[in-house]
Amino acid sequence: MNIIINNDFETHDLLGVGIGPFNLSLAALLSPVPSINSKFFDARDSFIWHAGQLLPDAEIQVTHLKDLVTLVDPTNPYSFLAYLRKHKRLYRFINGKFTNVLRKEFSQYFNWVSQSLPNLHFGEAVQDLHFKKSHFVMQTTKRIIKGKHLSLGSGLAANVPPCAKPHLGDTVYHVKDFLMKGNHWKGKTVAVIGGGQSGAEIVQALIADDKNLPAAVNWISSRDHFAPMDESVFANEIFTPNYSDFFYGLEPGTKAQLVKQQTLASDGISNNLLDAIYQRLYYLECIEQLPKIVNFLSNHQLDDIHANQGSHQLILTQHLGDATSVVNADIIILCTGYRWQFPAYLSGVSDKIVLENGHFAVNEDFSIEWDGPAQNKIYVQNAARHSHGVADPNLSLMAWRSATIINSIAGQDIYDLEGESSGMNWHALQSGVSGESKLVGPAYATLGSPVHNFAPSDTVVPFVAPTEVGASATWNT
């Protein structure tokens, strides 16, 4: 597409594609920064967060303090607490003693922020992007506009198993469409594919109403059990800026290994949800004495789906014995997560963008490598799990990442992100895997002590380093 450029085009420091929580956080933290002007665009008519999954009992899996702005700037007017105060329900929220905030309420909070910021433009899809001279040139459905930098926050695509794609429709669908399909499972057999939080939420919804129970639910997961999310205090240290900085400095092979090992810290099931499902089944089966409803099929991989006289046959492989199983289902709900794909609107600059193993090559400031001027940057939101760790798709580091991007754009520290306290010595561990030789000892060791014979210039690191210099940092659980 040829774009005619003239000096009348509106020009901004930053143009954002997509208005999900992450670019919304960026816009909120930019609101008190007049030196950076920006505009954000989204094809949707208004903000709604996972519309098909806003189930009545679904909760966010993090504290409400991990909102758009609080962990970077608690005084920002677009915090969740500010939202509660604005809507005159802060006291009621406190008195409610909620363990976690309902996802629907957090979506309403996000929507309130989106309506409060004047530089967000909904109902305006980004169609094309090019780079001309010193600016990115963006064409939307309503305008042509120029920007010095880009922030890509258009989200991930539904991950649909290849064998399910030919069958997608009213009875086979991804969880993102769950609420749009209606309650049509009474007396039917339902297969839920996926053993994470989304799968658990769907199972809970299917068995919630005594008057609308399915005949059976086959909950199928490739994991070895339906495991809870690791919410322990030390596991939560993974979701901190200090850990993200540490993780970024590791070798790619070590990063991939850690991401795999830390799955349950980011993609396990909330303990209270597991409890609720177990207690509901106890009530139905032991007190109401109904036949067993939910069949738990862990260690099973979905291999194929066949049409079968108005229903479906699922071909499964059992991991433990490598046996094949066949399960029938009237309805198949795919709780199979989301995946990154190269955005179509970047086709105009795709030849300039560096990819590594099918992903963006992401710098520490969340800009990506590209064959263009260094003073023009393309920042990415939720596309750096491979480079920055499992927290990247999570709300936990949302505000910090936004502030990191703002500081990078400004070329100075608009937000103070240094010196955050941590319960772990991540950088001491990093010194042990980077090939640097450092003396290691307990925190109470004294320089120059006759026992250890340290020289005054030696560095004492209060951490036991790997036994070989350059070894990978791994944890066995």
**What is the identity of the amino acid at 442?**
P
Of 92, 124, 120, the closest CA to residue 105 belongs to 92
Q: Is the separation of the CB atoms in 203 and 193 below 8 Å?
A: no
Nearest Cα residue to 414 out of 116, 18, 31, 14: 31
Question: What number is the average pLDDT over the span 269-286?
Answer: 97
pLDDT digits (tens, 9 = 90+) for 198-210: 999 999 999 999 9
The secondary structure element, H or E, covering residue 128 is: strand 126-132
Q: How confident is the model at residue 7 (pLDDT cuts 50, 70, 90)?
A: low
* CA-wise closest residue to 276 among 49, 53, 48, 55: 55
Q: Which domains does the chain have, with CATH numbers?
A: 10-156+340-410 (3.50.50.60), 162-229+268-334 (3.50.50.60), 425-477 (no CATH)
Give the separation between CA 424 and CA 462, rounded to whole angstroms. 11
Query: What is the rounded radius of gyration, in angstroms, for the C-alpha atoms of the chain?
Result: 25
Please tell me the pTM assigned to this model.
0.88
Task: Please give the sequence-ordered ranges of beta strands (E in DSSP) within 18-125, or none if there are none.
Answer: 38-42, 120-122
Which among 104, 277, 284 has a CA at the least distance from the CA of 192? Answer: 277
Locus of tokens 């008190």: 32
* CA torsion through residues 235, 239, 243, 247, sign: positive
Cα(first)–Cα(last) distance of the chain, in Å? 53
Give dist(CA 450, CA 265) in Å, integer. Answer: 43
Give the mean pLDDT of the chain. 89
The pLDDT of residue 436 is 47
Closest CA to 365 of 405, 409, 419: 405
Q: Is 443 exposed, middle or buried (0-12, 13-18, 19+ CB in 10 A)?
A: exposed
The pLDDT-based confidence of 449 (bands split at 50, 70, 90) is very low
pLDDT at position 168 is: 97
pLDDT tens digits, residue range 400-446? 999 999 999 999 999 999 999 988 888 766 554 444 444 433 343 33
